[in-house]
Structure 1
Amino acid sequence: MRRRADDQPGAALLVEAVLDALPSPTLLVDSSGTVLLANAAWQMAAEVIADDRFRVAVGGNYFALALQIRDDEHTRELVAGVREVSMGLRDSVTADYPVPLPSGTRWYHLQASRVDEAGSIVVTHTDVTTRVHAQRASAWQARHDALTGLPNRAYLHELIDADLAAPGRTPAVLFLDLDGFKEVNDSLGHDTGDDLLREVAARLTAAVRERDTVGRLGGDEFVILSRGCSAVDAAALAERLRATVERPFELAGRVIRLGASIGIAGTSGHRYLRSTDLVRDADLAMYSAKAAGRNRVHVFSPDLRDAAERRASLAAELRDALVRDELVLHYQPVVHLPTGRCTGMEALVRWQHPEHGLLQPGEFLPTAHAHDLMTPLARWVMTEATRQIAEWARIGIALVVAINISAEQFSSGTLVEDVFAALTTAGVPPELLVVELTETSVAEDPELAAEQMAELRRRGVEVSIDDFGSGFSSLAQLVSLPAGVLKIDRSLVNFTEGNRDRAAAAIAAVVALGQACGIRSLAEGVESAGQLALARELGCIFAQGFHIARPMPADDVPGWVLAHRDALAPAPPGEFAHFGVR
């Protein structure tokens, strides 16, 4: 400790002892900035730092020392604040400041307080490097994606909002969704999926311009903020990003191929005020690219937003429709080919919209799927279909009715409970109801689906697999799923004379495959006498299609059945118990 020469020995010793007791490097400075005392912690810190600038001597100037270490606006403001404390204009000054050293920047917390009327001040310097680094790491983590290190959703919106607020800026946003990523996760596992996302992030970052920002919203969705970007530039950037994702990835000893559906917004001349609007429009454009065939680029246009608003409005109306009894079921007959007799009906949902008339499933089921309405819709169908079975039974018409089951219904885990609740309420035996599924509806959790299907069949409800032969058909799933009927997709059944032989070969193969698994076949989409004859010739047990009958309201079914009863032979005994269609 160094002391002033004019200090009283007793007072000086007391001050020295107090300052030396402080753990932080501390100086006693007079009103002009002259260093009067430096405690032992200061001297020790100076030795550790090994920088001559910190070896301050009594009589040296603290203010000059501070500016010598770091001469910038922040330091000058800090020195001015310490002077104000000395002059009595402020009670104290506290601030964190960086000190650049050869070993790296260290951070100190400065606190200055006046100690006498002469303007002397005590200035402590506490090393807070660890705290600052922890705070910065926490702040970085709060704004960045933990997996890829890219800006996260919150930080992206912050960056986009800042760019939108800047005068003269015209940012564009590209919304990128990977095509085929879910299949990678499902087949190779989430660890490989995470590695793939990191690789995609690195490629996207390398493909953009230096002034652009790549961020990850979550899952396999990425957003690119492109600053000062024209419509032509944005389109070129999107194609470059799509091409870089298309290049094969080599992970887990395998070659992985992906695509990218990309939407662009912000280049149409419309002035956006909020990042949420800009990202939303880019998202809408991305979904349009995906709907057009995937691995494409689409630029936002106002009609996409109008369509989205209509879908949202339709979803709200559909929720109300479930309560207001606006939904109806139409029924399409299914014929037992060996006898020619109608043995059941396929229940098809329709919406009697108060303004738009009778809507077909394709006009509202996608909306139901997107807004989590498939499960309540399926429960309504179960309730209405079983009620109708009971109603027909009361007038002497026994018909098996099949209903559709969605992926959401399987994943809910309540399928069996829902089915038997409807059967019990209507007083209908289980053998008069069939549930039908597609392979895609059980893809997310085949084991859970198989358990529920097996329980349904054990308790008397038949199960049918729909659309077999369209797209990818998994033989493994056909073997593992406990189904009783296999519906041959209309794309195979609805042949022309030019491809009759090839269609016949495909139908025969599916029929034989079903027979080998103990499953009967149903030809759907029969639209001509020739198609019906071929289905019967090749061993299909059931058939349905416009050639037999179009879907009809429930009130028309008894008349149709009675009109065809005399012309058709009786069904074999017990056939009802084994019938299964959609």
Structure 2
Amino acid sequence: MTTTPGERELPLDVRRSTGSSGRDAALVEAVLDALASPTVLLDPAGRVVLANSAWTAAGVERQAPILPGADYHALALALRDDEDARRLVRELRELADGERTEVSVDRSVPDPTGAATSWFHVQGSRIDQVGHVVVTHVDITARVLAEKASAWQARHDSLTELPNRTHLHELIDAELRRPGRPAVAVLFLDVDGFKDVNDSLGHEVGDELLRQLAGRLLAVTRGQDTVGRLGGDEFVVLSRDCEADGAELLAQRCQATFEQPFDLGGRTHRLSASIGIAAVPAGSPAEVRSTDLVRDADLAMYAAKAAGRNRVRVFSPELRDSVQRKVQLASELRDAIADGGLTLHYQPVVEVATGRVTGVEALVRWQHPERGWIGPCEFVPVAEQHDLVIPLTRWVLGEACRQTAAWRDDGVPVVTGVNISAVHLVTGTLVDDVLTALQGAGLDPRQLVVELTETSAAEDPARAAQQFRRLRELGVESWIDDFGSGFSSLGRLVAIPAGVLKIDRSLVTGADGPAGAAIAAVVGLAQGCGMRSLAEGVETAGQLRRVVDLGCSYAQGFHLGRPMPAEEFLGWMRANGGRLDLSAG
């Protein structure tokens, strides 16, 4: 039998099984060549009958040379003998035997020149009863690479290229499930002062700091450890086969990386880190999850910060109990603010030149119905940690203004001071909250003072100055509290439009010694800036005489009057006629 040009005669067994003529063979070949994807026709034994032109054009010929009668199954395994290849061969044989209707396998193919690996979607279809199979190969390399890149990005931090929160938890959980449960430790690291870098130098410089830190942590950890970034300035180190003692040594190495200054924006900056550790001993039978371990390390880190920063703390069950107590206390404090469970006590402020009681400082008190007396030193930090400072301060402002208005109506006009947190400055609602309290009580703004500690004012002096200036325009004076307890820039502080500098009790206690010179300096500073001075914590007649001699305008302390409930203060004022005899000593 003759064929026309361009025709190719199919093998005799194919023509016999299909009843094909030479013209049919040409048609089969033309159909295969019309397919865009590299395609081969296999006989029932898996031998190559035909390969289309796309096979050669796509370069597949170079990876798997096709010769008449070549064993496609053997070629597939020779390219890469992996699970995907073995599955492909197995399913192609089942397809030829009529045991399945199609084959669909994704497999990778290495390039013999050493170029990047390619990926193909291999699709097989049976075309006759004898068992001939057509196999197409669709190049899916671009899709696979995109999927791999997307999967990598989903599990890594784009800034530092370290494992992110999701991937870290996957890695920790995998480690905790290892047979025999090896020792596992997690270090939770937080940069002390990172916010200052971000705020003062900008986020780009902050990002550079994080990249430098990532590199330093990778350099000091072991090859079997994993460094990851949770977000912000929080890093986690997964330390495999490591007990708590070893984790402490690793934490010390991490801290040591901060001894070398960071080069940021052309300037060097010294920082430190607080690190918490949570560890699971080898062979521990307890079920532990990654979320448990990271949470415990986080609690230990906060304990390290609370202890003074630049510390290392190892988690203990007592830490968790303490946190749970604080969470419960925060819930009860929230209810107390809403339900009127708090009260205010008022401590007199005395003008030392005349002995006249000119005002009071409002101090919040909490008599818990079950726990009894809870001091401010316990519940105020809880309020700060659980976003209750603003509602607490608003309650104090409202209650203090109402009480001051009531005293005014009773013929006892005083100026009441209310302590303001730095958090309130950040929210930008301070002026509106003060106005709301004044208007609600019908109180003259001149009878209210807002007090902000020196350290709080120094955190953002520009914001403090802006809001204090607005309050002054409304008639509300601002005072700087606890002056002398911090290490603030005097140049920034004097720019704040305050009316009084309250000298910290730590200086007043030592007024007869070297602290006396410091008090004199503060008094001079206040006078130079058009402010007055108030000595806090005056406990004895001697301290009172000393601060008077040093030029203080006002004094406050137990020697002059303890904090009192509102009704008691009213009686005390009437008994004293609103004036104290300071000469009685």
Aligning the two structures, in what range does the TM-score lie when normalised by the shorter sequence? over 0.9
Q: Measure how far apart 1:32 and its partner are.
A: 0.9
Superposed displacement of residue 346, structure 1 = 0.2
Alignment map for 1:205-224 (pairs within 5 Å)? 205-224=218-237
Cα distance in 1 between the residues matched to 2:39 and 2:250: 56
Instruction: For 1:78 and 1:542, locate their aligned partners in 2 and report how far apart those are by CA, in whole Å.
Output: 91
Q: Which amino acid aligns with 1:4?
A: L
Pairing of 1:228-307 with structure 2 (within 5 A): 228-267=241-280, 271-307=286-322
Does residue 34 of the first structure (1) align with residue 47 of the second (2)?
yes
- What is the CA-CA distance between 1:167 and the residue it aligns to? 2.2
Once the 2 structures are TM-superposed, how far is the Cα of residue 562 of structure 1 from its aligned partner? 2.4
SS at structure 1 position matched to 2:58:
helix
Q: CA deviation at 1:73?
A: 2.7
Indicate which of 193, 206, 216 corresponds to 1:193: 206
CA contact (8 A) 1:165 1:273 kept: no
Query: Aligned pair 1:136/2:148, yes or no?
Result: yes
Residue 238 of structure 1: CA displacement? 1.5
TM-score, normalized by length of structure 1? Answer: 0.93
Q: Deviations over 1:349-396 (max 9, x none)?
A: 111111122221111011111111111111110111011111111211
Q: Whole-Å Cα distance in 1 between the matches of residues 578 and 409 of structure 2? A: 21
| Equivalent residue letter for 2:297 | A
Distance 2:465 2:232 in 1: 28
- 2:407 equivalent in structure 1: 392
TM-score (norm 2): 0.92
Partners of 2:454 and 2:98 lie apart in 1 by 81
State the match for 1:526 in structure 2: 538
Counterparts of 2:55 and 2:317, CA distance in 1: 66
Q: 1:566 to 1:22 in 2, by over 3 A?
A: closer
Within 1, Cα distance between the matches of 2:579 and 2:435? 35
What one-letter code is carried by the residue in structure 1 that aligns with 2:325? R
Partner of 1:295: helix, strand, or coil?
A: coil
Give me the CA root mean square deviation: 2.0
Q: Which amino acid aligns with 1:273?
A: V
Unpaired runs of 5+ in structure 1? 571-582
How far apart are 1:304 and its partner, in Å?
0.5
Residue 125 of structure 1: which of 137, 140, 158 is its match? 137
| Structure 1 position 339, deviation (Å) | 1.5
Q: Distance in 1 between matches of 2:287 and 2:217?
A: 25
CA distance in structure 1 between the aligned counterparts of 2:532 and 2:106, rounded to whole angstroms: 79
Deviates more, 1:360-369 or 1:67-76: 67-76
Q: Is 2:525 aligned against 1:510?
A: no
**Cα pair 1:3 1:36 within 8 Å, conserved:** no
Q: Which moved more, 1:427-436 or 1:411-420?
A: 411-420
- Of the candidates 81, 84, 93, which is equivalent to residue 103 of structure 2? 93
**Residue 179 of structure 1 aligns to which amino acid in structure 2?**
D
Matched, 1:19 2:32: yes
- Residue of structure 2 equivalent to 1:4: 10
Matching residue within 363, 377, 397 for 1:362: 377
* Cα distance, 1:194 vs structure 2: 0.9
Cross-structure match for 1:61: 71
Query: After superposition, what is the alpha-carbon deviation per residue over 1:22-46, rounded to whole angstroms, capped at 9, x for unaligned?
Result: 2211111122111111111101122
Structure 2 gap segments, 5+ residues each: 1-5, 16-20
Give the whole-Å Cα distance in 2 for the aligned partners of 1:270 and 1:532. 64
| 1:504 positional shift | 2.0
Distance 1:205 1:542, change over 3 A: same
For residue 442 of structure 1, report the CA deviation from its aligned partner.
4.6
Name whichever of 302-311 and 112-121 sits farther off: 112-121
The match for 1:203 among 193, 212, 216 is 216
> Partners in 1 of 2:70 and 2:145 — Cα distance?
32
Distance 1:400 1:74, change over 3 A: same
Alpha-carbon distance in 2 for matches of 1:299, 1:506: 40
Distance apart, 1:164 and its partner CA: 1.4
CA contact (8 A) 1:353 1:359 kept: yes
**Secondary structure of the structure 2 residue equivalent to 1:113:** strand
The 5-angstrom pairing of residues 152-167 of structure 1 reads: 152-167=164-179
Matches of 1:277 and 1:479, distance apart in 2: 48
User: Which one is further off, 227-236 or 392-401?
Assistant: 227-236
Residue 349 (1) aligns with residue 364 (2): yes
Contact (CA 8 Å) 1:284, 1:304: kept in 2 or not? Answer: yes
Paired positions, count: 564
In the aligned structure 1, how far is the partner of 2:440 from the partner of 2:564? 25
More divergent stretch after superposition (35-44 vs 435-444): 435-444
**2:565 equivalent in structure 1:** 553
Partner residue, 2:351: 336
Counterpart-to-counterpart distance in 1, 2:534 and 2:287: 54
Q: Does 1:437 align with 2:452?
A: yes
Q: CA deviation at 1:210?
A: 1.4
Distance 1:90 1:455 in 2: 82
Per-residue CA distance 1:175-223 (angstroms, 9 max, x = gap)? 1111222222222222111111111111111211111111111111111
CA 1:345–1:20 in 2, change beyond 3 Å: closer, same or farther? Answer: same
Per-residue CA deviation, residues 93-127 of structure 1 (Å, 9 max, x unaligned), is: 22221111111211111111222212111211111
What corresponds to 2:92 in structure 1? 82
Kindly state the Cα deviation for residue 5 of structure 1 after the two structures are TM-superposed. 3.6
Cα distance in 1 for partners of 2:54, 2:254 equals 56
Rounded to whole Å, the distance in 2 between the matches of 1:88 and 1:474 is: 87
- Identical amino acids, percent of aligned pairs: 60
Contact 1:265/1:285, CA 8 A, preserved across alignment: yes
Q: Secondary structure at the match of 1:266?
A: strand
Please give the secondary structure, in 2, of the residue aligned with 1:419: helix
Q: Do 1:151 and 1:215's aligned partners in 2 also have CA atoms closer than 8 Å?
A: yes
Instruction: Indicate if the aligned counterparts of 1:35 and 1:60 stay in contact, CA closer than 8 A.
Output: yes
Mapped to 2, the partners of 1:59 and 1:354 lie a distance apart of: 93
Q: Structure 1 270/396 Cα, relative in aligned 2: closer, same or farther at 3 Å?
A: farther
Cross-structure match for 1:536: 548
CA distance in 1, matches of 2:560, 2:304: 38
Query: 2:55, 2:61 within 8 Å by CA — same for their partners in 1?
Result: no
Partners of 2:418 and 2:529 in 1: CA distance: 23
* Pick aligned residue for 2:465 from 438, 450, 459: 450
How far the C-alpha of 1:445 sits from its partner, in A, is 4.9
Worse-superposed segment, 347-356 or 251-260: 251-260
Structure 1 residue 440: Cα displacement: 4.0
- Change in CA separation of 1:123 and 1:445 when aligned onto 2, cut-off 3 Å: farther
Give, in angstroms, the shift of residue 149 of structure 1: 0.8
SS in 1 for 2:417: strand
Change in 2 beyond 3 A, CA 1:270/1:38: closer
1:410-469: CA deviations, max 9, x gaps? 222222221111111111111001111124435565444333221111011111111222
Q: Which is worse superposed, 322-331 or 509-518? A: 509-518
Contact 2:357–2:578 at 8 Å: present in 1 too? no
Counterpart residue type for residue 231 of structure 1? A
Structure 1 residues 282 and 566, CA gap change in structure 2 (3 angstroms): closer
